[in-house]
Chain A
Amino acid sequence: MLLTGAEIIAEVLIEQGVDTVFGYPGGSVLNIYDALYLYKDKINHYMSAHEQGACHAADGYARLTGKTGVVISTSGPGATNLVTGIATAYMDSVPLVAITGNVPTSLIGKDSFQEVYIAGITMPITKHNFTVRSVEDLADTLRSAFKIANSGRPGPVLVDVPKDITSNKAEFSKKPVTPEPVEQKSFKNLEKVASLINSAKFPVVYLGGGVRISSAEQELFEFLKKADIPATYTIMAAGVLGYGDELNMGLIGMHGSKTANLAVDNADLVLAIGTRFSDRVALNPQKFARRARIVHIDIDPSEIGKNVPADVSIIGDVKKVLTELLPMVKKAKHADWLSQINEWRKKDYCPTDDDSVLKPHQVMAAICDAAGEDAVFITDVGQHQMWAAQYIRHIKTRSFLTSGGLGTMGYGYGAALGAAVADKENRPIIHITGDGSFHMNMNEACTAVSYNLPVITVIMNNSVLGMVRQWQKSFYGKRFSSSEPERKTNYKAVAEGFGLTGFRCENLAEFKEAMDKALKLGGPVWIECVIDREEAVLPMIPAGGSVDDIIIN
């Protein structure tokens, strides 16, 4: 059938199984939005307050569902507003297709109104990007974009479509999405790795987001149980290991548990699975796991040896690798090693309760109590993010959405909206933010109201940029440069101004009450928690340090 480019875009989206897109209209995408109007019974479009919010929403949607998120923006500022969102998705390997309009082909390169070379701008922050030069190429280009975004190590792909391409017509015929033929090849080094595991006395598994992306949770549990290996995780894998499991040592790295960091430091074998030894984990690459042989399992060959050299590596999808490895691993008991870890656990950092004020760890615990095991948690970036990572009782995989790699303040609200849109099971959607991060994208409140999305935003308000200030306190002689903005924002009033409900709490009882009310309301709510500005994220290993340098108080 003969269709316009805009209609072809809609048809390919449907063909790729997309029923939800996020975006913001504008001059160069008027044709696309006209098609979305025609296709509105098949494709739900959610309009944000700002393109960045839409991009984070598509990202949150993708992280929760595992499907590819789609965001649409106009040319120029619309496209540049996506940049932070695309970079966020790139750093955390989130499958995303960004469709940007551009000025008509005849005006490209002439500094036309709202023209920007977005393909050039996004080159280093996308897996790949395309500029469509003719309407005949449009459908296959979009199909390639989806394929690239969701294959191998996932990531964002941008497709730039000049306006005339969206109005030109071309023959379109549907192509069914065929799954990639699975290559049944065995992985290299499986036997070597199995023998290292079978002979290790003090083994540790250090896992990252790749386990979740590959949906390898079950294979991982079986592996850990069978080989009796304690595990620690990066923030990208929060929720993969169940809270309270004997083998779960908690978060690793800069704000990880002392137990986990000590275990890696004393291990004779570290198995890094679906992870990339970032500088927030292997703070000092020379000293990281210094007594251990390192086995690195990852789908991306360029991660092997990038930050920390591996003794043995297996390149492949984590789920498939673990499936093949499992029968080769002997059933084991590491009783002495686990009892040593338990000793460290008993002496690990433990914050003190105080119900008369709001202590971060108690707020997190109260959130978990109220929201229950089904909740989805979304954070912004800073102290609150680390408190959430440390103290949320992570139960479910794909239920802790956070900007781990890029560390994007302002990520949370958009991502939470995307998660709320994606959720079909009525799960509580809890957005945990700080006053600094929240000021970056709180405008998305209007989106939450427009679509009545049940996002509960908990604002950890210490009136300062807590993480910046904590570093200034520890490492910059308490020179609080631009970290104490003395804002007078009345969150309750602002919430009401946007048309949602706001609460303000100063102690634990007030917070619990507000949480209960918020969950009952079912609509968008803000809860401001007043916390002390001196609250710090502990433990902390300073940048470039090792567990020897850990700060506990």
Chain B
Amino acid sequence: MEKHYLSVLVENNEGVLARISSLFCQRGFNIDSLTVSATDNPEISRITIVTTGDEASFRQIRKQTEKLVETKTLFPLNLRTSLLRELLLIKLRSNTEIKNKIEKLAEKNGAVVIDVSVGCVVLELTGEPEKIDKFLSKLKDFEIIEMCRTGVTAMERGEATYSLSV
């Protein structure tokens, strides 16, 4: 079972997200993450979907998604030629003693402390999903109070082949 990355440019209508997620659900395709992003064209949104499955089922869900009336274009993202980014927010239990450790670890890994409150700190990290996974694995010694990841948003390197700019 492989992870697949799909970029879908859709008409920015109400219900379009429901339609796409309903389609995946109906046909039994797993969504690992899904993000909806505004684009430079207010009528177009970009949906980035990460899904796990074999090649045949990925081909099938691509064709099904392509059939939706609101789908303008869609393309699988090649990991080598695409830029994938995800945002992590994580709240860790902290005190004066631990705080220093957390700050050091954050700095070493490119994360930023964006809030310090009584008893906890919040870190922000942006990067490829693997980078975030790696960072999370280094936090085993700390108590996580809350965490959220945005899911992947992505675009291809170089000249855009699929741009639907205004």
Chain A residues in the interface with B (C-beta under 8 A): 119-120, 123-124, 127-128, 131, 148, 300-302, 304-306, 309
Contact B23 A302 (CB under 8 A): no
Q: What residue in chain A is nearest B60 (Cβ atoms)?
A: A306
Contact B59 A128 (CB under 8 A): no
Nearest CB in chain A: distance from B51 CB, A: 16
Of B14, B26, B56, which is within 8 A of A305 by CB?
A: B56
Contact A302 B64 (CB under 8 A): yes
Docked complex Cα distance between A249 and B66 (Å): 36
- Residue B22 at the chain A interface, CB threshold 8 Å: yes
Contact A123 B67 (CB under 8 A): no
Contact A148 B66 (CB under 8 A): no
Mark B4-32 against chain A: 1 for CB-CB distance below 8 A, else 0. Answer: 00000000001100110011001000000
Docked complex Cα distance between A487 and B66 (Å): 49
Nearest CB in chain A: distance from B57 CB, A: 10
Docked complex Cα distance between A120 and B21 (Å): 12
How many pairs, one residue from A and one from B, have CB atoms within 8 Å of each other in the complex? Answer: 32
Contact B63 A301 (CB under 8 A): yes
Nearest CB in chain B: distance from A410 CB, A: 23
Docked complex Cα distance between A309 and B57 (Å): 12
Per DSSP, are chain B's interface residues mostly helix, strand or loop, or mixed? Answer: helix
Nearest CB in chain B: distance from A306 CB, A: 6
Contact A301 B66 (CB under 8 A): yes
Given contacts A120-B18, A124-B23, contact A302 B56 (CB under 8 A): no
Docked complex Cα distance between A128 and B20 (Å): 12
Mark B97-113 against chain A: 1 for CB-CB distance below 8 A, else 0. Answer: 00000000000000000
A–B pairs, 23, beta carbons within 8 Å:
A119-B15, A120-B15, A120-B18, A123-B15, A123-B18, A123-B19, A123-B22, A124-B22, A124-B23, A124-B26, A128-B68, A128-B69, A128-B70, A131-B14, A131-B15, A148-B69, A300-B67, A302-B60, A302-B63, A302-B64, A302-B67, A305-B60, A306-B60
Docked complex Cα distance between A410 and B36 (Å): 42
Chain B residues in the interface with A (C-beta under 8 A): 14-15, 18-19, 22-23, 26, 56, 59-60, 63-64, 66-70
Q: What residue in chain B is nearest A300 (Cβ atoms)?
A: B67
Across-interface contacts of B68 in A (CB, < 8 A): 128
Docked complex Cα distance between A128 and B19 (Å): 9
Nearest CB in chain B: distance from A148 CB, A: 6
Docked complex Cα distance between A124 and B18 (Å): 10
Across-interface contacts of B63 in A (CB, < 8 A): 301-302, 304
Across-interface contacts of A305 in B (CB, < 8 A): 56, 59-60
Docked complex Cα distance between A304 and B56 (Å): 11
Across-interface contacts of B70 in A (CB, < 8 A): 128
Most buried by A among B15, B26, B66: B15
Nearest CB in chain A: distance from B100 CB, A: 51
Given contacts A124-B22, A124-B26, contact A302 B66 (CB under 8 A): yes
Docked complex Cα distance between A69 and B135 (Å): 58
Across-interface contacts of B66 in A (CB, < 8 A): 301-302
Nearest CB in chain A: distance from B75 CB, A: 15
Docked complex Cα distance between A300 and B60 (Å): 12
Across-interface contacts of A301 in B (CB, < 8 A): 63, 66-67
Q: What residue in chain B is nearest A153 (Cβ atoms)?
A: B67
Across-interface contacts of B18 in A (CB, < 8 A): 120, 123
Across-interface contacts of A302 in B (CB, < 8 A): 60, 63-64, 66-67
Docked complex Cα distance between A305 and B60 (Å): 8
Contact B60 A127 (CB under 8 A): no
Across-interface contacts of B56 in A (CB, < 8 A): 305, 309
Q: A124-B26, A305-B59, A306-B60 are in contact. List 8 more A-B contacts (CB 8 A).
A: A119-B15, A128-B68, A131-B15, A302-B60, A302-B67, A305-B56, A305-B60, A309-B56
Docked complex Cα distance between A208 and B17 (Å): 33
Across-interface contacts of A309 in B (CB, < 8 A): 56
Across-interface contacts of A127 in B (CB, < 8 A): 69
Nearest CB in chain B: distance from A143 CB, A: 14
Q: What residue in chain B is nearest A301 (Cβ atoms)?
A: B63
Q: What residue in chain B is nearest A124 (Cβ atoms)?
A: B26
Docked complex Cα distance between A131 and B56 (Å): 34
Nearest CB in chain B: distance from A384 CB, A: 31
Across-interface contacts of A304 in B (CB, < 8 A): 63
Nearest CB in chain A: distance from B107 CB, A: 47
Across-interface contacts of B67 in A (CB, < 8 A): 300-302
Nearest CB in chain B: distance from A142 CB, A: 15
Docked complex Cα distance between A123 and B19 (Å): 6
Nearest CB in chain B: distance from A128 CB, A: 4
Nearest CB in chain B: distance from A23 CB, A: 24
Q: What residue in chain A is nearest B65 (Cβ atoms)?
A: A302
Docked complex Cα distance between A148 and B63 (Å): 17
Across-interface contacts of A119 in B (CB, < 8 A): 15
Docked complex Cα distance between A119 and B16 (Å): 11
Nearest CB in chain A: distance from B84 CB, A: 26
Nearest CB in chain A: distance from B23 CB, A: 7
Q: What residue in chain B is nearest A125 (Cβ atoms)?
A: B26
Nearest CB in chain A: distance from B71 CB, A: 11
